[in-house]
Amino acid sequence: MTYLFLALSYVFGATPTSYWVGKAVHGIDLRQHGSGNLGATNAFRILGWKSALPVILVDVSKGFVPVWLFPGLCGASFGWTLAFGAAAIVGHMFSFWVGFKGGKGVGTSAGVFLALAPWAVLGGFLVWLALMIATRYVSVASMGAAVTLPVFVAFTAHAGGATLTGFTVALAIVVVWAHRSNIRRLIRGEENRFGRTREAGKKDGTTGTEGAA
């Protein structure tokens, strides 16, 4: 039964929210616009905030629901709970619906830890917000939140102990790896700052290259 819920966690996480919203509401394939990333940042840049808001809410729920609901339904151990969360994140990043492409796992990871360690998520969000205000780079803010989350988990989580902290460290490595193209653009000084709208992109012939969630 636990293997069935593990598969369901992947399928749940693989829901290509931004792709379906782009197709259904705007008639475009988001993979062919902006960064080509199927995360909330690219959805905001290309589709606008009204479409991006439900995308990020669903992306967060894709991590939250498998971790919060599935263990109680199948009597899973804490180790399996982490496996459900990992499967949802992998599904978001490598969705079978869209050729095993997807987002960068930030929103879905936030949902996983919102269920497991909500106070740590608050700390990570404050780091994200501070870096976002200071740099206006979503990629920098996302990576900063990811690499500091293990510290917040270690000090605030009441369940899981070293296992949960180790899982968070592994997740931080994955998130940084997923942002490797952003890191290269940051080094070259080519990363776009957040705040450019679709209209701004149209004026200079670009649609933005930054993507995070």
Predicted confidence (pLDDT) at residue 99 exceeds the cutoff of 70:
yes
Percent residues over pLDDT 90 in the chain = 74
- Say whether both 99 and 172 belong to one domain: no
pLDDT at res. 213: 57
Predicted confidence (pLDDT) at residue 196 exceeds the cutoff of 90:
no
Q: Hey, which residues does 199 pair with through a beta bridge? A: none
In 3D space, the residue among 81, 75, 71, 94 whose CA is nearest the CA of residue 10 turns out to be 94
- Say whether both 95 and 167 belong to one domain: no
pLDDT at res. 206: 39
pLDDT at res. 162: 85
Average pLDDT over residues 3-18: 96
Domain's final residue, options 104, 134, 159 = 104
Q: How far apart are CA 167 and CA 208, in angstroms?
A: 32
Does 48 map to a domain? yes
- Say whether both 89 and 163 belong to one domain: no
pLDDT at res. 121: 94
Q: How far apart are CA 87 and CA 124, in angstroms?
A: 21
Residue located via tokens 């790896």: 177
Show the tokens assigned to 172: 């931080």
Using pLDDT thresholds of 50, 70 and 90, give the confidence band for residue 146.
very high
Q: How many CA atoms lie within 13 A of 174 on its CB side?
A: 19
pLDDT at res. 72: 93
Residue located via tokens 């940084």: 176
Q: How far apart are CA 48 and CA 43, in angstroms?
A: 7
Mean pLDDT of the chain: 88
- Say whether both 20 and 98 belong to one domain: yes
Using pLDDT thresholds of 50, 70 and 90, give the confidence band for residue 189.
very high
Rg (CA), the chain: 17
Residue 155, domain extent: 117-191
pLDDT digits (tens, 9 = 90+) for 25-36: 999 999 999 888
Domain count, the chain: 2
pLDDT digits (tens, 9 = 90+) for 105-145: 999 999 999 999 999 999 999 999 999 999 999 999 999 99
pLDDT at res. 98: 93
Does 57 map to a domain? yes
pLDDT digits (tens, 9 = 90+) for 19-78: 999 999 999 999 999 888 888 888 988 999 899 999 999 999 999 999 999 999 999 999
- Say whether both 45 and 66 belong to one domain: yes
Q: How far apart are CA 182 and CA 65, in angstroms?
A: 29
pLDDT at res. 207: 39
Q: How far apart are CA 190 and CA 149, in angstroms?
A: 27
